[in-house]
């Protein structure tokens, strides 16, 4: 297992947890309550001021949404997520990246529509 975990990632597992909470827009109060730990303990862990025991970390991981848990563990262990769905990647992206994805999709659909129906017709609202 040690070969899978870089020392840098392992020492910053709390940073990854904090990033995951922010990336997936998770409510810390709800996650802490669902895991049966205090919000203060979770906050101290997320900011690197205290470490959690294995039981508390596992309790937290078990109450996370599947996509968030998968992202955290893949990042922690350095596992490539090539099989990740497009939906998961977009949901996990920063807001600026999500806007860019929407623009790319809109451009692609507009080009496809113009190619199929001619340049004089405008797409109708769905």
Do 20 and 55 belong to one domain?
A: yes
Does some domain include residue 89? yes
Do 11 and 73 belong to one domain?
A: yes
Residue with tokens 């507009």: 110
Do 67 and 89 belong to one domain?
A: no
Residue 6 has pLDDT above 50, yes or no: no
Do 67 and 113 belong to one domain?
A: no
Do 54 and 114 belong to one domain?
A: no
Do 67 and 108 belong to one domain?
A: no
Do 59 and 100 belong to one domain?
A: no
* Mean pLDDT estimate for the chain: 79
Do 12 and 33 belong to one domain?
A: yes
Domain that holds residue 22: 7-81
Do 65 and 98 belong to one domain?
A: no
Distances (CA, A) of 34 to 15, 31, 98: 21, 5, 29
Does some domain include residue 2? no
Dihedral sign from CA coordinates of 70, 74, 77, 79: positive
Residue with tokens 């392992």: 10
* Total tally of structural domains belonging to the chain: 2
A 10 A CB-CB count for 23 gives 18
So what's the pLDDT on residue 2? 43
Residue 114 has pLDDT above 80, yes or no: no
A 10 A CB-CB count for 35 gives 20
CATH of the domain at 31: 1.10.260
CA distance 44 to 47: 5
Do 98 and 75 belong to one domain?
A: no
Does some domain include residue 123? no
Record the pTM: 0.57
End-to-end Cα, the chain, rounded Å:
51
Tens digits of per-residue pLDDT, 36-57? 999 999 999 998 888 888 899 9
Tens digits of per-residue pLDDT, 76-89? 887 766 666 667 77
The answer to whether 32 and 39 have CB atoms below 8 angstroms apart is yes
């Amino acid at each position: 297992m040690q070969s899978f975990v870089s020392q840098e990632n392992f020492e910053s597992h709390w940073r990854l947890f904090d990033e995951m909470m922010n990336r997936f827009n998770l409510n810390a109060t709800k996650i802490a309550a669902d895991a049966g730990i205090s919000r203060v303990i979770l906050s101290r862990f997320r900011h690197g001021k205290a470490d959690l025991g294995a039981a508390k970390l596992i309790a937290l991981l078990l109450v996370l949404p599947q996509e968030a848990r998968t992202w955290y563990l893949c990042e922690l262990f350095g596992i490539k997520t090539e099989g990740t769905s497009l939906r998961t990647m977009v949901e996990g992206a920063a807001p600026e990246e999500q806007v860019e994805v929407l623009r790319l999709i809109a451009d692609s659909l507009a080009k496809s529509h113009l190619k199929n129906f001619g340049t004089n017709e405008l797409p109708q609202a769905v």
